[in-house]
């Protein structure tokens, strides 16, 4: 059987173990997370549609901590499974979660034909959540992933194919047998193996590893795994994360406690770490070497590689195209390039950026939908080493053309998980909105318009992987700027892991860093210590301070002393070299610009009586602000023009401000940081959810828990952009008046 294009369509409602047996050549699987915004969701569906040409064995969809985005996970899983006809393996975590959510999620999966579940523990319980687990001995609460595996097997027998996680370098965490969860565990894969065996004995069918970059450590783990498990039917998939930028690469490795060998780290000298194009190019070669070495040294036992995509596609497409092991995925296609067509495009207009009228800025590219893609003169038709000389073009806000679009005639009522922010935090619950999930295998067609045509040809895929031509530029428009301050229309917008709001440290580390605050002075001191470098993280940020923060450190400390709890900020700069040690980023020989901005928590009283009146006096030409609170309230002085159906910047779906951009040789303007209404609203909800995660560390009715919950309800989140980047001190002078 040809593994790339079967003579009959794949039945997505099959087990991974069954599908794997039919593969005769190396293959891939892909992980995606539910985007935080509706435009991001639409663009992700486009992206997955294109990446289906890689014939992934399966696709996994992440589950946010505590099931806080259960509806989004189920909705995305349903569309991929039913409309894109790709086998889905849905993540499911069990700790800190109501059992009814698990039951409802499993029932939905069974109803829509999903046969594969990745059973994970999730964040370990802490505070009173931990006490609840300890005290309730007779209930069906779950402490470990093995408990979830047993539960699924008990209730569904062999209907689901169940996967579990493994840690090739050992799991880093806390001792679950300690009530205070204050015993750090040293990473040791040998010590972890009994827990993995327990999950397999409970009924697991396959294993996906945590991300790693040290091949030797993985090979040692794989050898011990085979010796100890002694069950050839258990599949092992190595987890790989492409290197898209040095900052995210470092952060992902830190969060996962993955070793970065010096042989890899040495390939990223300081002078190139801010040039994402060079970093990505090196990263592609590193991932290819990892794949080739694993495949060769396991004699082909490991022949399916699981990619943590971060909802991006370019690096993965290039890895597959250039890897000796994986390129057969493209070569084996029996679909003629001359007869394969892209899925029918349903274009939806996208808002323009404020920089669209700047010189050197590329305008929105339009694809002539009637033109045969094989005649596109921009397509790259060879597998030669990529020539980057003319391919460093990053479009400014151009979204990928859509294969999937919500049907305007009938919009399904959808609701993301319901978090009751108005009630006391102890009663907050997450529920699955049953009405948002289709009740039969055909009902999603009411919400999504799809033309089920052939997959993209190999020519088109290579063009996309190079980021070349109209299709390539449309597909990879968001590859350079992404993350929380990128374009919210990007599927990759938001945190890098897609697992929802959570603290990035253990209980013990959290107490060590932030203590047990009892008054507002304690809170202010936490933020000031972070600015002074005494502590390296806040509940909302696990990254250290950037060098440019030093330029406004005194002002930020003074603001925090006033009760303005600063989360993010940047100083202004005008035409600085891209290689500058403080402001520099991107390729060499460029010029970068920044507007000053600040994001902070302040009391609602301070906002209403002091800061808002001051900003309103200046007007929106000088400043743009967004403000929101725990109840979902939002305000901005960017007035909506109902007559023209747009905001002052010309957008139709919300105001936005580009606050960091650069001009580089042979490239259009690159926008790396954007502050906009859509992204602010998404971050507002997440920021107040992180307050709740911090609160939950402490026992119910404890002074610290009561105090933090009071602050959470009394504060608002404010983001302010100062537009005159020539006057570099004006924002700080205004705030400190």
CA distance 459 to 484: 33
User: What are residue 394's phi and psi, to 5 degrees?
Assistant: -120, 120
- Exposure pattern of 579-605 as b/e (b: 16+ CB <10 Å)? beeebbbbbeebebbbbbbbbbbbbee
Q: How many CB atoms lie within 10 A of CB 712?
A: 21
Residue holding tokens 């000298």? 269
Q: How far apart are the first and last CA of the chain?
A: 73
Helical axes 189-202 vs 215-229, angle rounded to 10°: 50
In the DSSP assignment, the letter for residue 102 is H
Residues acting as catalytic residues = 31
Q: β-strands 634-636, 565-570: how paired?
A: unpaired
CA distance 249 to 310: 11
Dihedral (CA of 11, 14, 18, 21) sign: positive
Q: Which of 689, 725, 34 is nearest to 354 (CA)?
A: 725
Residues 6 or more apart in contact with residue 194 via CB below 8 angstroms: none
CA distance 477 to 287: 22
Q: What is the DSSP string of 404-453?
A: --B-TT-PPP-------SSS-GGG------GGGS-SSTTGGGGTB-----
Q: β-strands 304-308, 235-240: how paired?
A: parallel
CA distance 588 to 447: 46
């Amino acid at each position: 059987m040809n593994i790339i294009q079967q003579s009959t369509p794949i039945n997505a409602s099959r087990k991974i173990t069954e599908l794997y047996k039919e593969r005769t050549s190396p293959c891939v699987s892909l992980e995606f997370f539910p985007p935080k915004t509706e435009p991001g969701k639409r663009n992700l569906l486009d992206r997955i549609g294109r990446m289906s040409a890689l014939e992934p064995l399966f696709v996994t969809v992440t589950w946010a901590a505590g099931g806080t985005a259960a509806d989004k996970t189920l909705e995305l899983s349903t569309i991929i499974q039913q409309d894109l006809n790709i086998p889905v393996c849905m993540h499911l975590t069990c700790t800190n979660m109501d059992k009814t959510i698990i039951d409802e999620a499993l029932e939905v999966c069974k109803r829509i034909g999903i046969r594969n579940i990745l059973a994970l523990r999730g964040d370990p319980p802490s505070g009173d959540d931990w006490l609840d687990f300890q005290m309730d001995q007779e209930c069906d609460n779950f402490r470990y992933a093995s408990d979830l595996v047993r539960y699924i097997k008990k209730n569904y027998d062999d209907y689901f194919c169940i996967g579990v996680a493994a840690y090739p370098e050992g799991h880093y965490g806390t001792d679950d047998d300690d009530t205070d969860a204050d015993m750090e565990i040293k990473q040791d894969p040998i010590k972890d193996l009994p827990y993995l065996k327990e999950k397999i004995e409970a009924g697991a069918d396959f294993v996906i590893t945590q991300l790693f970059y040290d091949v030797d450590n993985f090979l040692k783990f794989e050898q011990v795994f085979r010796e100890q498990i002694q069950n050839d039917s258990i599949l092992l998939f190595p987890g790989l994360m492409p290197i898209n930028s040095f900052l995210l690469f470092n952060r992902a490795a830190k969060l996962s406690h993955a070793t970065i060998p010096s042989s890899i780290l040495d390939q990223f000298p300081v002078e190139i770490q801010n040039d994402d194009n060079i970093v990505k190019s090196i990263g592609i070669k590193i991932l290819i070497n990892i794949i080739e070495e694993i495949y060769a040294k396991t004699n082909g036992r490991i022949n399916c590689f699981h990619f943590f995509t971060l909802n991006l596609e370019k690096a993965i497409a290039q890895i597959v195209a250039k890897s000796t092991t994986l390129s057969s995925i493209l070569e084996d296609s029996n679909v003629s390039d001359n007869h394969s067509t892209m899925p029918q495009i349903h274009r939806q207009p996208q808002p323009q950026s404020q920089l669209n009228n700047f010189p050197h800025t590329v305008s929105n590219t339009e694809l002539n939908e009637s033109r045969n893609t094989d005649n596109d003169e921009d397509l790259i038709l060879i597998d030669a080493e990529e020539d980057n000389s003319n391919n460093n073009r990053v479009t400014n806000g151009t979204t990928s053309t859509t294969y999937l679009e919500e049907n305007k005639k009938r919009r399904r009522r959808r609701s993301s998980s319901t978090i009751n922010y108005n009630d006391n935090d102890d009663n907050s619950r997450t529920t699955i909105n049953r009405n948002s999930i289709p009740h039969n295998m055909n009902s999603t067609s009411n919400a999504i318009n799809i033309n089920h045509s052939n997959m993209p040809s190999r020519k088109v895929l290579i063009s996309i992987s190079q980021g070349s031509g109209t299709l390539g530029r449309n597909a990879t428009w968001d590859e350079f700027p992404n993350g929380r301050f990128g374009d919210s229309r990007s599927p990759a917008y938001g945190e890098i892991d897609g697992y929802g709001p959570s603290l990035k440290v253990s209980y013990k580390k959290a107490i060590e860093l932030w203590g047990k605050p009892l008054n507002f002075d304690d809170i202010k001191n936490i933020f000031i210590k972070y600015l002074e470098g005494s502590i390296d993280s806040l509940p909302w940020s696990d990254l250290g301070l950037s060098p440019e923060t030093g330029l406004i450190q005194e002002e930020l400390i003074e603001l925090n002393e006033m009760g303005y709890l600063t989360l993010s900020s940047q100083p202004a700069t005008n035409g600085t070299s891209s290689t500058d040690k403080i402001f520099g980023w991107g390729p060499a020989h460029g010029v970068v610009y920044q507007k000053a901005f600040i994001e902070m928590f302040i009391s609602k009283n301070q906002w209403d009586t002091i800061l808002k009146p001051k900003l309103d006096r200046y007007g929106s030409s000088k400043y743009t602000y967004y403000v929101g609170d725990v109840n979902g309230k939002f305000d901005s002085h960017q007035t909506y023009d109902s007559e023209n159906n747009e905001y002052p910047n010309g957008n139709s779906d919300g105001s936005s401000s580009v606050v960091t951009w650069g001009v580089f040789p042979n490239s259009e303007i690159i926008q790396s940081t954007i502050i906009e209404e859509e992204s602010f609203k998404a971050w507002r909800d997440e920021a107040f959810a992180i307050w709740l995660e911090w609160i939950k560390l402490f026992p119910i009715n404890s002074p610290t828990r009561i105090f933090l919950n009071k602050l959470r309800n009394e504060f608002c989140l404010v983001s302010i952009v100062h537009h005159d980047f020539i006057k570099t001190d004006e924002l700080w002078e205004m705030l400190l008046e």
